Amino acid sequence: MSAIGWVDFSSEHRDKVKSVIDLLSTPGVIDELGIGVIRDSFSDSLFPGVSTIQTRAKYFHAKNERRHPIPQLVFSQKKTDAGESANNMSNFALLYPSQTLADLFDPDAALLQRRSLKEIRDEIAAKLDQMIEDAELHRFGSTTGEPDRWYWAAPLLLDRRTPSINKDLKEWLKGVGETDDSWFFGSKKDDNQQKDESSSKEKHFEELFRYFDNPFEAGLGPLPTDLSLVLADMAIASPAITALRSVSRHFEDEHYFRTLFAFDIANEFLSLFNKPESIAAVRMSTDRAVYWRRVLEYCVNGGLQSVLDEFFHVLRADCPTIRDLFHRLVDSMNLGTASIKVDDLKSFLNGKRRNMRCHYAVDLGNQRVETDDGKNRIKGIRHNFNSPFRPFVLATTSIGQEGLDFHTYCRKIVHWNLPTNPIDLEQREGRINRFKGLVIRQQIAAKYGTLLSDEWLKNDDVWNALFKIADEHERKGTGKCELIPFWHVEADLFQIERIIPFYPFSRDRAKLSTLLKTLALYRLAFGQPRQAELVEHLLTNVTESRITEIRDKLMIDLSPINYLIEPYAPVASSL
């Protein structure tokens, strides 16, 4: 990689350098044949985020240019002889929270039995083949219908034939269609595009209800040969069905509200998977197919059920009701895209910096904390970073050093510059070493996951059971405080990772050594549980007698019993 730099002392010198660079630049591309639009359409569809002119990411967009790839999971209408009809009913394969499919898969049992994904899928598919045959679903199909419509219709029809589900389902379909309970139809923007989308969604839901009452009108074709396998994947990892299982496990609300919030959570996932960067990620990691099938494959491979179960466990302490949890989940999935000013050679020469969108990495600290917008932005960034969803990298100033916790899904911290004292270093790293943080959960899962049993999971979810097992082994009978295992677990597999990028000949290397020595004594004085650095320093650099002297001087004993016995023993005996 080469670079060029200069120092100019006048506008004349600057103009001369500009002219030299212009002579070395590559001429622009001219679309003389007029096929550039066609070429770009194929490129954006097949290779999202890559320029057809240069193999570089298309981070910069012209003003008012529509971002690509465009949303795939949309709701549109098509004209027929009978009038307007829904054109994207396949979206309900990801949206509809089928109770029948939810009951077919027990994640806890699969975990205890250590079954592979293939074994789970084959078992569920076999059960579905039998259920489809018993329900005689083939009678709703015709030779003139569309076979692909079965993927979203079959779950609805399987629920319809189950007496214990049919009545509740009908009440839910009617309630959602006639009330404003669901966010599915809601429009956050009062513009024509949003109103049209809301109208299209209403049309789609109306047809779903109509097909529930009369399946023969659904336009179903012959049963697809892979129907049971696709339905098995939906049972394992459809956003709606995984949300229904997680909601049902944590809340005992009636069927209507559990189904309602599972449906609305799935709708938020559709919005997430409609973002250009999400579409690119899904396309790069799944086999070629229609987009909703690729999203389903992405959710299966990514273990969406495990992701939601863990996230619900993390949120449960702060979200006592299902409504609180839903709003927090929505906040964690819908962070507005931020832009930062950057320079490339062209923008530098023009004197105009360019805007670059930030999706998976965002900054914290440039917001104006004195304004409501700034406070809300900081809150939104914190909620999003403390979730399994984007952003995954947070660049912060000293504003994130104290008072803000980022431990829920983070265990790595990069110090771009070292602080001047050990207290600031401890404050920084303490942001990701908190109650039930990621490193704690990873340690407990690795250390005690094999001890899970039916007895432990009888009345608890997986994560509650794991923490109870860890409490039995780490604290009870050892005399350790109740911070264990929620704040600290002895394990070697996962630790807080401190990353310090040293520049060549940097003074930070010597500075770090001094900081760590001071930090070790700082931790000793305050009884911090992380003792590895302390022990290494003391054993290497300090004699045993000196260690005893330091310990006696700096150790703080907060025990009220010892405090009364030692200093005030004569007074106590006289009483």
The reported pLDDT for the residue numbered 51 is 47
The reported pLDDT for the residue numbered 228 is 97
Please state, in angstroms and rounded to a whole number, the distance separating the CA atoms of residues 325 and 49.
Answer: 34
**Sign of the dihedral through C-alpha 301, 499, 398, 337:** negative
Please state, in angstroms and rounded to a whole number, the distance separating the CA atoms of residues 206 and 72.
Answer: 21
- State how beta strands 338-342 and 83-86 pair: unpaired
Please state, in angstroms and rounded to a whole number, the distance separating the CA atoms of residues 520 and 422.
Answer: 9
Given a contact cutoff of 8 angstroms between Cβ atoms, the answer to whether 100 and 155 are in contact is: yes
* Angle ∠(485,486,487) on CA atoms, nearest 5: 95
My answer on whether omega of the bond before 147 falls inside 30° of 0, hence cis, is no
Amino acid at 499: I
Q: Which residue ranges in the chain fall short of pLDDT 50?
A: 1-2, 26-33, 50-57, 59, 188-189, 561-575
Map residue 110 onto helix, strand or coil.
Answer: helix
Beta-carbon contacts of 226 under 8 Å, excluding residues fewer than 6 positions away, are none
**Separation in Å, CA 358 to CA 145, 154, 273, 337, 570:** 45, 40, 17, 6, 68
* Angle ∠(273,222,301) on CA atoms, nearest 5: 30
The reported pLDDT for the residue numbered 69 is 86
Given a contact cutoff of 8 angstroms between Cβ atoms, the answer to whether 255 and 172 are in contact is: yes
Residue carrying structure tokens 């591309």: 29
Please state, in angstroms and rounded to a whole number, the distance separating the CA atoms of residues 117 and 124.
Answer: 11
